[in-house]
A = this chain, B = another copy of it.
Amino acid sequence: MLRVDTIDHRIISCLMANARSSYADIGNVVGLSAPAVKRRVDKLLDTGVLRGFTAVVDPEQLGWGTEAFVEVHCRGNVSPSDIQNRLEPMAEVMAAYTVSGAADAIVHLRAASIHHLETALERLRAVEIIDRTVSTVVLSRLLDRPPAP
């Protein structure tokens, strides 16, 4: 793990605001030349601080407007990597976390419709290591921010 200084943070902020901005533009903001910015970005990508660049889409307009959070309770003792391997092939799984408290994991599902969500939940519950699930359907997205600097 390496040191990420103030200039790196400002470069990351620029790229989070607009991942397609040019190295020259970023350089004007942070006070560096374009090649210097590129060298820092390449290093941040190499070390994994920056994982990549992606487009932010409106799931609603693409027809993936139905979301739910699912508490997953497993039978017996299950390792996090077990759960991870089971969830990875499911396209509807946006994110998953092991958590404190009664549940073993929280799974963030996104689907095209309530019906699609239902089938995804059925497939989730069919996983043998999963004992039971408690799902909470999202009614509206109040806030959705990209990660902070």
Contact = CB atoms under 8 A, between A and B. Distances in A.
A149 B145 CA distance: 19
Contact of A147 (B57, B88, B96): B57
Copies of this protein, total = 2
Interface residues of A, number: 62
A67 B105 CA distance: 13
A106 interface: yes
Interface in A130-149: 136-149
A36 interface: no
Interface of A: 1, 4, 9, 12, 15-20, 47-59, 61-62, 64, 67, 69, 80, 83-84, 87-88, 91-101, 103, 105-106, 110, 136-149
